[in-house]
């Protein structure tokens, strides 16, 4: 599963939201209710949608603290 690939996790940690109210925030810093809203309404197509789906799963399972150390600030 790609989710457990180290390079993929680093990419997930360092991806920023490209649009909307939370533009430029790291995906891990998006509020959980925002990700829940996307899940209900539909995630965007493509790579961003897949990353948002993965971040949703990480957040609802309380695992975001595993992602934060991978951010290159």
Confidence band, pLDDT 50/70/90 cuts, at residue 52:
very high
Strands (E), 1-73: none
Confidence band, pLDDT 50/70/90 cuts, at residue 43:
very high
The overall longest dimension of the chain from CA atoms, in Å, is: 31
pTM of the model: 0.89
Query: What's the pLDDT tens digit per position in 8-36?
Result: 999 999 999 999 999 999 999 999 999 99
Distance in angstroms (rounded) separating the CA atoms of residues 57 and 62: 9
User: Quick one: which H or E segment has residue 7?
Assistant: helix 6-14
């Amino acid at each position: 599963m790609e989710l457990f690939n180290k390079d993929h996790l680093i990419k997930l940690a360092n991806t920023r939201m490209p649009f909307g109210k939370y533009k430029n925030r790291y995906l891990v810093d998006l509020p959980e209710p925002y990700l829940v809203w996307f899940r209900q309404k539909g995630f965007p197509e493509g790579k961003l949608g897949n990353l948002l789906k993965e971040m949703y799963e990480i957040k609802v399972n309380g695992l975001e603290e595993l992602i934060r150390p991978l951010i290159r600030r």
